[in-house]
Structure 1
Amino acid sequence: MSPITIRRRTAAALTAALLVPLAACGKSDDKKAAADPTPEPKAVNLTVLAASSLTDVFKTAGEAYQKSHPGTKITFSFAGSQELAAQVKQGAPADALVTADTKTMDGLKAETGDATIIAKNRLVIAAGKANPFKIDELKDLADTKIKVVLAAPEVPVGRYSKQILDAQKIEVKPVSQEPNVRAVLSKVELGEADAGLVYKTDSAKSGDKVVAVDIPDEQNAVASYPAATLKQSKNATDAAAFVAWLSTPEAQKILQDAGFQKA
């Protein structure tokens, strides 16, 4: 065999030896790609406008939703329902809306998708620490010695308050009318008022700062919380997914653990 032939065969053998690990590497990469086909979740930022009385529970719900929906971040904007409605009508950038009454939501049908009731609530009397005036029923709020604070009548909780007081023919002259339920509660907590009408779920968060006095069902009002997507949303599919999730067993448990009633 000539030296040239020997050199050629040696070069061919070396080339084949080099190609084997490369081929094996290619097969390994192919197997790895086949075993891990899941793409990175897309990043989604949702803005949800929500009634003030949902402040605490929605923070918990938002964390739970983000955990089960990687890549999704939810930012909540809390205010009185009437303020939220004004924001929607002014075109504020948001994806979903949850109000504390159906009346406000019904007034936004041109701006929202179909609404779904996700929870209910009831009113209680929030009396000052240790309840010094011994308030134990609605008619006690008519006592002029007691400083009572209510939400403004255009606010859902203010409208519910007027409804139950009028039904019992109880005249109350509030020392102030506040823009949302949290403001009413704050006045009582700080001692700037002796009592106020708030949602049961809000009073529960005050600890011993207030005394919650239950109102009998026959004298009370039921607050319904509808949720809907906003037509102006740039994340329509993801917004609809979040609204639908609010009716799932996971979300309902979070709401009911916080004191909200089943929808």
Structure 2
Amino acid sequence: MRTTVAALAALTVVGVAACGNDTDPQPAGSATGVTGPVTVFAAASLTESFTTLGREFEAAHPGTKVTFNFAGSSALATQINQGAPADVFASAAPKNMATVTDAGNGDGSPTTFVRNQLVIAVPKGNPKKIAGLADLTGPGVKVALCAEQVPCGAAAAKALATAKVTLTPVTLEQDVKGALSKVKLGEVDAALVYRTDARAAAADVDGIEFPESAGAINDYPIIVLKNAANKAGAQAFVAYVLSDLGRTALTNAGFQAP
């Protein structure tokens, strides 16, 4: 009888332990299969919004760490095709995304997640009283543009052509943040930048809307990369960007829904 009781007691302990293991909460990262570093190559115009989304993503997935490489989309596409380690690519234009996918470096098809529109960024108070593209050709007006291979530069060229305005910028920058910085530093009187960048720098610049920008809106696609070291993390980050929370954060930053 003692042997039977002892055996039953042992089985009870084992059963309780097993139940305890079933109910113990799993770490959020391991429970979802999402953990570890996630490297995101993203257009410079996404700097503020993606930095915020990255922090929110890490909070939602403990054990993850999002690292960003922000630059002009054309430069990022070149880096990816040359083998730079990255999990996700978010471009400011389909053309630069196609450079990556045509080379076979995307995993699946890209998804357009937002759109962006140009404004004329001027120093606070608009000292040159610039009201439209034609004013950028005024005497003594110094203008910064993005280089044409960069999405903001291609959009600017299209808007200027629509307005039949020809101007010679004093500088061509490799991303939109470079063009905006020239205004903030007082080195130029105006720059064509995205609405979102002007809004992020509202303490230093004013954004002047102009009608021709409506015909030069850029679509922003995002994709998981074929050689992503953390495929699960990359997929989760893209899903987060496309979620209602992600879209709300992006539209609040001034981006337009696709």
TM-score (normalizing by structure 2): 0.89
2:41 is equivalent to residue 49 of structure 1: yes
Instruction: Determine the structure 2 residue equivalent to 1:102.
Output: 94
- The answer (yes or no) to whether the contact 1:123–1:220 under 8 Å persists in 2 is no
Q: Secondary structure at the match of 1:186?
A: helix
Distance in 2, matches of 1:53 and 1:17, equals: 71
What is the Cα deviation at residue 59 of structure 1?
Answer: 1.0
Q: Does 1:111 align with 2:99?
A: no
CA displacement 1:115-142 (0-9 Å, x = unmatched): 1000001000001221111001111011
SS class of match (1:108) = helix
SS at match of 2:29: coil
1:177 alignment partner, one of 172, 175, 179: 172
Tell me how far apart the structure 1 counterparts of residues 228 and 213 of structure 2 sit (CA, whole Å).
40
- The residue aligned with 1:7 is none
What is the CA distance between 1:230 and its match in structure 2? 1.0
Alignment deviations for residues 103-126 of structure 1 (CA, whole Å, 9 cap, x no partner): 111122121131100000100000
Q: Measured at CA, do residues 123 and 39 of structure 1 come closer, stay the same or move farther in structure 2, by a change above 3 Å?
A: closer
User: How big is the alpha-carbon RMSD for the aligned residues of Structure 1 and Structure 2?
Assistant: 2.3
Which of 209, 212, 230 lines up with 1:214 in the alignment?
209
Distance 1:166 1:30 in 2: 71
**Residue of structure 1 equivalent to 2:120:** 125
* 1:241-263 C-alpha deviation (Å, 9 max, x unpaired): 32233221111111111111001
Query: Alignment partner for residue 237 of structure 1, among 228, 232, 236?
Result: 232
Whole-Å Cα distance in 2 between the matches of residues 69 and 155 of structure 1?
A: 33
Structure 2: gaps of 5 or more residues: none
Identity %: 38
Gaps of 5+ in 1: 1-11
For 2:213 and 2:67, locate their aligned partners in 1 and report how far apart those are by CA, in whole Å.
38
How big is the shift at 1:236? 2.3
Q: For residues 217 and 249 of structure 1, do their structure 2 counterparts lie closer, same or farther at Cα, with a shift above 3 Å needed? A: farther
**C-alpha distance in structure 1 between counterparts of 2:213 and 2:178, whole Å:** 26
Partner of residue 246, structure 1? 241
Paired with 2:55 and 2:241, the residues of 1 have a C-alpha distance of 13
Deviations 1:46-99 (A, max 9, x none): 101000000000011112222222322211110010110111011001111001
Give, in whole Å, the separation in 2 of the partners of 1:184 and 1:170. 19
Structure 2 residue matching 1:198: 3-state secondary structure: strand
Instruction: Give the deviation of 1:238 after TM superposition.
Output: 2.9
Larger of the two Rg values belongs to structure = 1
Aligned pair count? 251
Q: Letter of the aligned partner of 1:106 in structure 2?
A: A
